[in-house]
Amino acid sequence: MSITLADARVVTPEGVHEGWLTVEDGRITHVGRGTAPGPGHSLAGRYVVPGFVDIHCHGGAGGSFPNGDQDEARRIAALHARHGTTTLMASLVTASLDDLARATSALADLCEDGLLAGIHFEGPYISRARCGAHDPALLRDPSPGEFAGLLAAGRGHVRMLTIAAELPGALDTVREAAANGVIAAIGHSDATYEQTLAGVDAGARVATHLYNAMPPLHHRKPGPIAALLEDERVTVELINDGVHLHPAMTRLAYDVAGPARTVLITDAMAAAGMGDGSYLLGPMKVEVTDGVARLAEGGSIAGSTLTMDVAFRRAVREAGLSMTEAAEVTALTPARVLGLDDRLGSVSVGRQADLVVLTDDLEVAGVMRHGSWITEPR
Ligand SMILES: [Zn+2]
């Protein structure tokens, strides 16, 4: 089956042009300029951007990946898909090893079905001093052997590990992760600049929500932020929700790392797509007020209620990114982090037909995943 989308403003890695594209058997087969050669579905001048790739998401629609419930996980993926996320990583939070293994095994089934792109362990190998919304009682020192056990529960679908580089055993565990094709990400960390670089030298390649849950920039103690921003091997995650970061810090990261090393994530929890109220993030009680999630005890920010369409819109409106750059930080760069950029993440011939149709106001008007409409634009 072939679908032609005509009268579109197509956002490609090379720029934005007026034109059309054809989708066949779930792939993009033609991208052209001007008028489409045959009949097509007119998008009336709306934008087509690549489907969003969210590499850090805990939940939404009232559901939470850490619960390890497959129906809940399907509900979360469906909510984020309506907001344009066509590739989604399921992020777990610190829990007991048994609970982690159980959730991982349940979610691995959904990775095999193609619903999820992988599983991310955010904890338990993180710093007590920087644990944010994670249960401090369940934190552990990293151990490559123990981590190998968790990997086995994931049957090859554990794709990312957030780890504090300064903990005993951390560097060996980063090496174990890298050797198994797991992306090691430095975060929830109290590391110095030097300890952070040692983590990168051991194989870490991502900064888990840069700035949040790590020591702030200091002119004599630059800490992890400066190390992660300046090292060309590292891609930095940003939670661009207007709550976690001051816009100046978002711009600073873009200016130093550039769109090729910056990814926008949601870090969304159960309340995404829902109203204010009481929720759980793993074992922790969270209160959501005016869309801001905070631990019921202590008030730490506890994930977000962000969706990727809002992150995209804010990148253009608040941070001043071009449409092409916004597509890069929400799709192409995160796809590259996952090693999937040859298959998806851009509106290019041969890529998976994962597309988001956006209005002039950058609201979602349609979403296509693997060539099928999730929401068909009218
Ligand atoms: Zn998180």
Single out the residue of 91, 109, 110, 111 nearest to residue 100, CA to CA. 91
Q: Give DSSP secondary structure letters for 353-371.
A: --EEEE-TT--EEEEEETT
Spot the catalytic one: 54, 241, 267, 341: 267
Residue 378's pLDDT is what?
87
92 contacts 119 by C-beta, under 8 angstroms: yes
Residue 259 C-alpha to ligand 1 middle, in angstroms? 21
H or E element at residue 130: none
Q: How buried is residue 45: exposed, middle or buried, by Cβ count under 10 Å (0-12/13-18/19+)? A: exposed
Overall residue count recorded for the chain in this entry: 378
Distance 122 CA to ligand 1 centre (A): 6
Ligand 1 centroid to residue 30 C-alpha, Å: 37
Task: Tell how strand 158-163 and strand 355-358 pair up.
Answer: unpaired
Ligand 1: centre distance to CA 316 (Å): 23
Residue-wise over 221-248: b if at least 16 C-beta within 10 A, else e?
ebbbbbbbbebeebbbbbbbbbebbeee
Identify the pLDDT of residue 194: 98
Q: Is 267 a catalytic residue?
A: yes
Residue 24: burial class (beta carbons within 10 Å; 0-12, 13-18, 19+): middle
The pLDDT score that the predictor gives to residue 344 is 98
Candidates 28, 146, 57; CA nearest to 96 is 146
Sheet containing 262-265, strands listed edge to edge, beginning at the edge strand earlier in sequence: 52-54, 85-93, 118-122, 158-163, 183-186, 206-207, 235-239, 262-265
Instruction: Compute the radius of gyration of the chain from its Cα atoms.
Output: 20
Q: Which residues of the chain have pLDDT under 50?
A: none
How far apart are the CA of 237 and the centre of ligand 1, in A? 11
> Phi, psi (5° rounding) for residue 244?
-70, -30
Which pLDDT does position 287 carry in this prediction? 95
Structure confidence by residue, pLDDT tens digits, 122-155 = 999 999 999 988 899 999 999 999 999 999 999 9
Chain segment 309-342, per-residue pLDDT in tens: 999 999 999 999 999 999 999 999 999 999 999 9
